[in-house]
Amino acid sequence: MTGQNDNGFTRIQCTVNGVPRSLFIDVRKSLLELLRQDLGLTGTKEGCGVGECGACSVLVDEVLVDSCIYLAVWVDGKAIRTVEGEARDGRLSPVQQAYVEEGAVQCGFCTPGFIMASTSFVEKHQGQEVSADQIRKGHAGNLCRCTGYQNILKAVEKSLKP
Ligand code: FES
Ligand code: FES
């Protein structure tokens, strides 16, 4: 991060879905605002705006964060993954594919955040025996107002299989 100017803006470097970015940003901005307003990555959703629902979940250096309560300046020098970067070469990621196959999407508003939480969980536990309780705890920060939890659980179980 270079020095902050008089207007409260500063320059940061980061990668977003593998693409290097040099961004001049308002130091008061959240990562969610940076993604949606500055970069047009509107897949990441704003639900509560206060760190309770997980709709805004993204990965920063592979750590799941609520981007609504994470300052954009904190991603300086870091790698961000959002839902837009998960499909590759026109193919859904294994987690996304499992969500489709298990019907784990209803209105879809919570889905991008859940996909990132599931991706983080699956990448940490791939090939391991995990219980339904562990999967539930791994998604404790994400809320679905359509109450589609059972199918999400099944999708994660499917993604964990080799
Ligand atoms: S919008 Fe960020 S946790 Fe709800
Ligand atoms: S699918 Fe509607 S809020 Fe989760």
Render each residue's pLDDT in the chain as its tens digit; 162 residues.
666 776 899 999 999 999 999 999 999 999 999 999 999 999 999 999 999 999 999 999 999 999 999 999 999 999 999 999 999 999 999 999 999 999 999 999 999 999 999 999 999 999 899 999 999 999 999 999 998 899 999 999 999 997
The first and second tokens of residue 74, run together, are 């904190």
Q: What is the 3-state secondary structure (H, E, C) of the chain?
A: CCCCCCCCEEEEEEEECCEEEEEEEECCCEHHHHHHHHCCCCCCCCCCCCCCCCCCEEEECCEEEEHHHCEHHHHCCCEEECHHHCCECCECCHHHHHHHHCCCCCCCCCHHHHHHHHHHHHHHHCCCCCCHHHHHHHCCCCCCCCCCHHHHHHHHHHHHCC
Residue 148 alpha carbon to ligand 2 centre in Å: 7
Q: What is the pTM of this model?
A: 0.95
CATH 3.10.20.30: which residues of the chain? 9-82
Residue 42 alpha carbon to ligand 1 centre in Å: 14
Assess whether the C-beta atom of 52 lies below 6 angstroms from ligand 1. yes
Topology, domain 94-160: DNA polymerase; domain 1 (1.10.150)
Topology, domain 9-82: Ubiquitin-like (UB roll) (3.10.20)
Residue 45 alpha carbon to ligand 2 centre in Å: 12
CATH 1.10.150.120: which residues of the chain? 94-160
**Which ligand neighbours the alpha carbon of 106 most closely?**
2
**Residue to mutate (ligand 1; options 30, 31, 33, 52; most atoms within 8 A of CB):** 52
Residue 108 alpha carbon to ligand 2 centre in Å: 5
